[in-house]
Amino acid sequence: MWTVTSYVLRQKLAGRKQYPLVLMLEPLFRCNLACAGCGKIQYPAHILKKDLTPEECFRAIDECGAPMVSIPGGEPLMHPRIAEIVEGLVARKKYIYLCTNALLLKEKLNLFKPSKYLTFSVHLDGQQEEHDLAVCREGGYDIAVDAIKEALSRGFRVTTNTTLFDGADPKSVRAFFDDMMELGLEGMMLSPGYSYDKAPDQKHFLGRARTRRMFRAILSNRKKNWRFNLSPLFLEFLMGKRTYPCTPWGMPTYNIFGWQKPCYLLQDGYAETFDELLSTTNWSNYGTESGNPACANCMVHSGYEASAVNATFSSLGGFLATVKATLFSSYRDEEALRLLEEHQAPVNPLIQIATANDSLQETRA
Ligand code: SF4
């Protein structure tokens, strides 16, 4: 928290309007799952075979200077040099969130050393049935929970990251939070799904109004022991209590194509350097207010969490609202309790969307 605070204050003092908070570093697109809502693994085979080298990863972080690095993918644990990448980032004192579906986590833990800079951010989309459905893999939840326990017992930092799609049952999500806190996780991350045009399942992405309604039901009347690893103002944004403009430069994406314009989700070209990304992207074309249909329903954390963090440090009101949200708010809301009782869409049958490699054996790096 102190690292982020001092970094953001330095940017403010320097008068920087567009600064990166988290580098979204995608060192590969390969994965050992084929989730219905994923827009990353539909690349042709020759692209899926490619990896960023550790040197390319280090150049990207040195260029942009963000204090935190999120490593999604693909599945980063399938990268043959992931341990080198993590080691180099730790040496640079970057806080790393290594996002993994955890299918390979248990067997790859030996590659890493526990560090305050390294957190495994395990992708879990809810309780067992919901998660296995979302990732199109029966048994995925049990493997991930087993790996989480192992990582915690060896002294690693572990959080979860959860993407919620239309039809998610708020009651079940709340029960999932209880389960995760019982495991002893450090915190939980949340985001609504984004409607990737490449994703096989186009029916279950949330519109903005439905997103707010769902998150109001989930996050109101909050239990004291729930810990979220997100800006509290971003959570209020998801609940419909605040509005923010998208600030996609806050979480820029670097992958095998270069710096992706404008954000983690859209691909309107690439820049060779971070400075080029900032100076050549027409930022006014993006965000909900822009009228760009690709942004119309978007509330994802990679577009809006940096906006919420920026709001904390932009005024005394923003700072006090963050303190209040962190220390005092349980968000009591009778209407939200009623929303919890609303009928939920039935869970769909579990289907395998694409032929991700069927056995873990085949997908080991
Ligand atoms: S609104 Fe969403 S899709 Fe549009 S630029 Fe922002 S993060 Fe990307």
Return the pLDDT at 326.
Answer: 87
Which ranges of the chain have pLDDT less than 70?
37-39, 41, 195-206, 343-365
* Number of neighbours of residue 119 by Cβ within 10 angstroms: 22
Return the pLDDT at 361.
Answer: 38
Is 250 near ligand 1, meaning CB less than 6 Å away?
Answer: no
Residue bearing the CA closest to ligand 1, atom 7: 303
Is 298 near ligand 1, meaning CB less than 6 Å away?
Answer: yes
CA of 313 to the centre of ligand 1 (A): 22
Give the mutation target among 191, 251, 259, 286 for probing the ligand 1 site: most ligand atoms within 8 A of CB. 286
Separation CA 205–CA 164 (nearest Å): 9
- Nearest alpha-carbon partner for 135 in 109, 162, 159: 162
- Nearest alpha-carbon partner for 362 in 26, 27, 30, 29: 30
Quick one: DSSP state of residue 18? Answer: S
Residue bearing the CA closest to ligand 1, atom 3: 295
In 3-state terms, what secondary structure has residue 23? strand
CA of 234 to the centre of ligand 1 (A): 15
Identity at 135, one-letter amino acid code: V
Is 246 near ligand 1, meaning CB less than 6 Å away?
Answer: yes
CA of 246 to the centre of ligand 1 (A): 6
Return the pLDDT at 200.
Answer: 57
What is the distance in angstroms between the CA of the first residue and the CA of the last residue of the chain?
Answer: 34
Is 248 near ligand 1, meaning CB less than 6 Å away?
Answer: yes
Return the pLDDT at 201.
Answer: 59
SS3 content of the chain, % helix, strand, coil (to 5): 40, 15, 45
Give CA separation, 322 vs 96, 224, 250, in Å: 23, 17, 19
